[in-house]
Amino acid sequence: MIKIVQKEDPVLRKKSEEIPLSHIGSATIKKTLRDMRTALESRDDGIAIAAPQIGVPLRIFLVSPRAFEIEEHRRRTKTKTTEDPEAETAALLPKVFINPEILKASKDKQWLEEGCLSVHHIYGKAHRSKKVSVRALDEHGKAFTMTGNTLLSQIFQHEIDHLNGILFSDHAKDLHDIDTLPDEQE
């Protein structure tokens, strides 16, 4: 099991290092990505993870397919349309972001409930841009740009904060503990 480091760990306060293009695809990066996936999949309450959260100070974050499913569900519910199923499948694949940078963030912001696997059981409201465009490299070193609305926008901002040594609890308001509830039977 891969340990997710908690807020007291100094690695979470360091600015993560960029990964040279020549290192993408290396055994070290492949292992880091595997470990990140394992850590994220081990937690039902997480939808994204940054490399520093597993103790690796590199500029990588990973977004779970669950986040894309939630975003797609919200979009479909709002517009009440059905898209090409093949396009939907492509959007649901796990997404790797290496050396991400925010290209554009909307001035329109909102306070959103937020938590973090490294600040476990603490939630609060973070002030986030509603729409953000990010440029990054995938696990093969191919550049891409992605725009996220609401949830994906929030994830992009949260994870890039991690890469810059910032925790959501540093700037969130109304922080509160959430009690862990036992599994409910249906």
Of the residues 88, 139, 159, 184, only one is catalytic, namely 159
Q: Which of 156, 132, 175 is nearest to 48 (CA)?
A: 156
Active site residue 88: no
Q: Strands 109-114, 143-149: parallel, antiparallel or unpaired by DSSP?
A: unpaired
Q: Which of 40, 42, 18 is nearest to 50 (CA)?
A: 40
d(CA 135, CA 2): 28
* Sign of the dihedral defined by the CA atoms of residues 82, 87, 91, 92, in that order: positive
Residues designated as active site? 159
